[in-house]
């Protein structure tokens, strides 16, 4: 195969174009794509609302595929990273640019954040905050909504045999709330509010339940999404457009929330998050803001509210996500609600934008 299909998002249209199959560099692998999820950030970017992605761009970072070939410097028995040992995932974290290899035919998922491995953040084990960060499928020259792509071999995680392709495609998006919950601190038995019941909000509820959180309240303007939130473990749900939604949530919690996860990240949701957290609470910003918001700093200071940003994930978050999916603590059928083949990618974006689906997958090599 010398040519392939790839998706390019332009202002007002999503195209499937022909391109040459890329050749892996010395430390890269050529990956044949099986499936790629449509992320909320893809939708923001397609509408020109993503703060860090400009059009045109090549989407696809929630990717599962198969290694087809590797560059000459990719040697050794395994990609540095988590080793698969039964249903749980254990092993060393990805620690730098040194690359070892995986055999042809190995199923993998992408860790799409691409660190420089030389800056202060990378040196302190916070490579997700790399000062020179690039992100595969978000403004990067290649994306995973294609027949194939090349990427540094140390950005590929092996997929356990017990996970099917649809489950594997959830590893990356699930890792975002796993990371956010970890940053929030101890959540066991604590009262929690999750603002937004889209994919990330619903995953957050599932992760909180797995971590033994106390009462969980969910808000969203869409009644269908509120129903899904209840089915996945929210103790009560409220319409985010209600004039007194903060008061309703606080009443349901018998007081302020210990932790609020803002999975929307707009002015109204941040205002609600601070009102719900009130004194001594923590607000974790998980959603990607489309623009600037204002913060009531006197309230934040006087009420000793902690505002915690949460950016992507780290290798330990991937390991936990794989474990949650392998043990069916997070059930794929609850989240993958539609699939479309690559030629119908524009319809996949429309479905993902409709509010009627949780996760839409674009299937490529199935």
Per-residue pLDDT of the chain (366 residues; tens, 9 = 90+): 689 999 999 998 999 999 999 999 999 999 999 999 998 888 888 787 787 787 898 999 999 999 999 988 886 433 344 333 333 323 333 333 333 455 788 999 999 999 999 999 999 999 999 999 999 988 899 999 999 999 999 999 999 999 999 999 999 999 999 999 999 999 999 999 999 999 999 999 999 999 999 999 999 999 999 999 999 999 999 999 999 999 999 999 999 999 999 999 999 999 999 999 989 999 999 998 878 899 999 999 999 999 999 999 999 999 999 999 999 999 999 999 999 999 999 999 999 988 889 999 999 976
Kindly state whether residues 82 and 102 are assigned to the same domain: yes
Kindly state whether residues 346 and 303 are assigned to the same domain: no
Kindly state whether residues 118 and 189 are assigned to the same domain: no
Kindly state whether residues 256 and 344 are assigned to the same domain: no
The CA–CA distances, whole Å, from 204 to 107, 115, 190, 286 equal: 26, 25, 14, 9
In a domain? residue 346: yes
CA distance 326 to 22: 32
Kindly state whether residues 213 and 109 are assigned to the same domain: no
In a domain? residue 324: no
Closest CA to 326 of 111, 165, 167: 167
In a domain? residue 326: no
Kindly state whether residues 141 and 240 are assigned to the same domain: no
Kindly state whether residues 165 and 185 are assigned to the same domain: no
- The packing angle between helices 315-326 and 199-210, to 10°, is 80
In a domain? residue 39: yes
Give the tokens for residue 30: 């050529």
Range of the domain at 165: 3-170+335-363
Kindly state whether residues 274 and 342 are assigned to the same domain: no
Kindly state whether residues 86 and 183 are assigned to the same domain: no
How many domains would you assign to the chain?
2
In a domain? residue 314: no
Kindly state whether residues 162 and 195 are assigned to the same domain: no
CATH of the domain at 293: 3.40.50.720
CA distance 354 to 153: 35
């Amino acid at each position: 195969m010398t040519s392939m299909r790839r998706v390019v998002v332009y202002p007002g249209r999503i195209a499937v174009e022909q391109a040459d199959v890329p050749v892996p560099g010395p430390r890269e692998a050529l990956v044949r794509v099986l499936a790629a999820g449509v992320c909320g950030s893809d939708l923001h970017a397609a509408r020109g609302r993503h703060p860090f992605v400009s059009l045109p761009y090549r989407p696809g970072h929630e990717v599962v595929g198969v290694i087809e070939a590797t560059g000459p410097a990719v040697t050794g028995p395994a990609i540095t990273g988590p080793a698969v040992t039964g249903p749980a995932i254990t092993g060393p974290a990805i620690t730098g640019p040194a690359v070892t290899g995986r055999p042809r035919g190995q199923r993998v998922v992408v860790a799409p954040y691409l660190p420089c491995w030389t800056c202060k953040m990378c040196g302190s084990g916070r490579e997700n905050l790399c000062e020179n960060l690039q992100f595969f499928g978000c403004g990067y020259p290649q994306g995973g909504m294609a027949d194939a792509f090349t990427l540094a071999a140390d950005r590929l995680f092996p997929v356990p045999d017990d996970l099917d392709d649809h489950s594997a495609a959830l590893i990356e998006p699930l890792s975002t709330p796993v990371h956010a919950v970890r940053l929030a601190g101890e959540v066991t038995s604590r009262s929690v509010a999750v603002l937004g019941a889209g994919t990330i909000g619903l995953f957050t509820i599932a992760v909180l339940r797995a971590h033994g959180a106390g009462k969980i309240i969910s808000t969203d303007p869409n009644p269908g999404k509120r129903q899904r939130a209840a089915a996945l473990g929210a103790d009560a749900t409220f319409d985010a457009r209600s004039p007194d939604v903060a008061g309703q949530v606080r009443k349901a919690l018998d007081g302020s929330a210990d932790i609020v996860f803002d999975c929307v990240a707009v002015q109204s949701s941040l205002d609600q998050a601070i009102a719900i957290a009130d004194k001594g609470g923590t607000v974790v910003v998980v959603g990607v803001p489309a623009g600037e918001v204002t913060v009531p700093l006197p309230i934040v200071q006087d009420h000793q509210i902690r505002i915690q940003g949460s950016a992507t994930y780290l290798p330990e978050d991937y390991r936990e996500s794989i474990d949650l999916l392998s043990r069916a603590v997070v059930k794929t059928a609850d989240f993958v609600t539609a699939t479309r083949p690559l030629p119908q990618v524009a319809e996949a974006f429309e479905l993902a934008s409709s509010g009627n689906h949780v996760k839409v997958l674009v299937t490529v090599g199935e």
